[in-house]
Chain A
């Protein structure tokens, strides 16, 4: 009966016409934090949309806690999905967005208001709750989407790139929130193309490339697998108000090998052999008020190279 407590994906394939989305995915995901990692276009979002019933599998079956994804009236009481789409109902404030969809779960107004307030506090958006989402920053939009997905207290949360666009401090708070939720026995499935980030966060990691699951397992095992990859210099971007000053501070670090300022004067790219330490430095500088960071994250092109490396390693035996 473990399948009734888990997310079960049995031989699932999804094709968009002739184009492969995912192929022959066979997974059983237990409670805890599970990260779905892969380069852009690898099939992460397709798999998540299949889990949420927003796409229908070409072949295979999916059940979540023993419930088929074709029964929304049962499934979505226990399932929350934060999609990749950065879009919202027109004109809605943060409060209205979370509150309105809670009413669709059948909660009475009082309970919906209580949960809305509680969730907005959880994601740190109390002060902006009554502002229109259209005026939110990218990080705030990410957090309001997250709030909407978790407000009804689902047992299964599927979150597509939930850390994208968050500044370092909010990122740390959000990761802590995931840990709390997983600690309560819930499923938290997150996708990311930031390998080192999910490595630290997850109980288990699933690597996906070109629509195929190429590796899966507990983090210690996966860590060894990716250790070599992590030693490769990683390219990170930072959008901030004082890029030149930050570049100077970054050059003081021995693991930073290259810094390039953006042409518009609003950020920088750098290469580092230790992205964790660099991100910690950024978080400290933000906390000290030395710099205001709009966004920070790995630059895609390099990550794709990292994954190409990893996937090539995986594919060699076969």
Chain B
């Protein structure tokens, strides 16, 4: 029997084999993400919101901490929206996902992956999923730790009561959900950007301006920004200021499904690009 006949006679998909292959790829990717300098930088970045909440919750100004003066929910929402969502998540995802393929192209090692018996589309999907898992784990840990610190003024029993009987638990879940969806949405976008652009500065700068100034955009254009859908899911509404074009936030289901569909679409485009990609590192 020739190789071609043998291949044709095999079942179309050997699920056990495929699972082992994908497991190997996840392991390889997590190693690249978590056991390198990249993880240290991400770890430091994810510690920033924790440090900020710790500061505003523990240093009294005029006899009161900022948390006590303005209310812990408002303060946390402000920090989450401006610092975490507005900078850490955006640039953290940029750092990881832009380099998902671009990093391997620059270090000239992508061909090793493309010479394995895995469809290129699957390589895109699995690398992306592994990166989402790694980044989300880090940033969710940051969300949980920083959120817990808002209970500094009320102590442990107050925290337990708010998390179980009050709105605290629901708010925390909302923040975690937004963190996950931000990683999914921005992650897919920056994976594609990394495939198309050699240098992230211009596309990432343009995207950042677009995302940060979304509140000035007319309603139709707001729908083309990731942050519009993420903000709609945040538990404490904040004012965008006097110049903001105010629109009704999309329903949660639309936000969640819309972001998932957006990520899937962007990944499909990325997969199409890598399927047709040629390895010619000299051009990169």
Contact = CB atoms under 8 A, between A and B. Distances in A.
Contacts of B7: 67, 74
Contact of A106 (B4, B18, B114, B280): B18
B3 interface: yes
B118 A104 contact: yes
B156 interface: no
B21 A105 contact: yes
A87 B109 contact: yes
Interface stretch (A28-36, A77-85, A120-128, A243-251): A77-85
A76 B115 CA distance: 6
Contacts of B18: 106
Contact of B3 (A73, A103, A108, A155): A155
A221 interface: no
B282 to A, nearest CB: 10
A185 to B, nearest CB: 12
B4 A4 contact: yes
A106 B24 contact: yes
Contacts of B23: 103
Nearest to A52: B115
A72 to B, nearest CB: 6
A104 to B, nearest CB: 4
Interface stretch (A88-96, A176-184, A299-307): A88-96
Contacts of B2: 1, 4-5, 65-66
Contacts of B114: 53-54, 72
Contacts of B279: 49, 54-55
B36 A78 contact: no
Interface residues of A, number: 41
Contacts, number: 110
Interface stretch (B25-33, B49-57, B173-181, B230-238): B25-33
Given A5-B2, A77-B117, A54 B111 contact: yes
A121 B28 CA distance: 23
B170 interface: no
A101 to B, nearest CB: 6
A88 B32 CA distance: 12
A78 B5 CA distance: 14
Contacts of B69: none
A77 B6 CA distance: 12
A50 to B, nearest CB: 10
B112 interface: yes
A145 to B, nearest CB: 9
Interface string B120-148: 10000000000000000000000000000
A100 interface: yes
B120 A72 contact: yes
A85 B20 contact: no
B4 A76 contact: no
B107 interface: yes
Interface of B: 2-5, 7, 14, 17-18, 20-21, 23-25, 27-28, 31-32, 35-36, 104, 107-109, 111-120, 276, 278-281
